Amino acid sequence: MPKVSQERPVTSPEAAAGTAGADLTCTGCDGGVLEPDQVRTAFWRGDELVVIEDVPALVCESCGERYFEDETAMKLDMLHGGKDAGHAPVRTLSVPVYSLAAPGAAAGKRGGK
């Protein structure tokens, strides 16, 4: 299965504790400051690329690592698993698809001749 990025939901007890205002630090780079932000993530669901926007997260200012609260991670898991979890798609994107297959193989697949 192709991966669109190395992004993966990460939860941490500190992030999930919901201690708003406290200075939370990143465990990925050992000390980066985490700031609340809204991020975009994407994953493959079968042959379908799914994009999730406006995902609340704590983002490390230093390394960019993202931390999701348990509830957010659960929603992402449900969407990943094929359940819309009460969410309807807000819009649909067309994305360009490239192939690094050898030219000969691609031509053969197209069956042009």
Q: Dihedral (C-alpha) 94, 98, 103, 105: value to the nearest 10 degrees?
A: -80
C-beta contacts of 17-22 below 8 A and 24+ residues apart: 18/69
Which of these, 45, 54, 56, lies nearest to 79 by C-alpha position? 45
Which CB atom, from 9 or from 32, has the smaller least distance to Zn ion?
32
The verdict on 106 binding Zn ion (CB under 5 A) reads: no
Using CB under 5 A, which of 12, 65, 66, 73 touches Zn ion? 65
Site for Zn ion contains 29 (CB under 5 A)? yes
Q: In angstroms, what is the minimal distance from the CB of 90 to Zn ion? A: 30
- By CB neighbour count within 10 A (0-12 exposed, 13-18 middle, 19+ buried), where does 14 fall? middle
| Interactions with Zn ion, residue window 42-61 (CB under 5 A) | 60
Q: Is 11 in the site for Zn ion (CB under 5 A)?
A: no
Near Zn ion by CB under 5 A, which window of 8-16, 49-57, 65-73, 75-83? Answer: 65-73
Binding residues for Zn ion, rule: CB under 5 A, are 26, 28-29, 32, 60, 62-63, 65
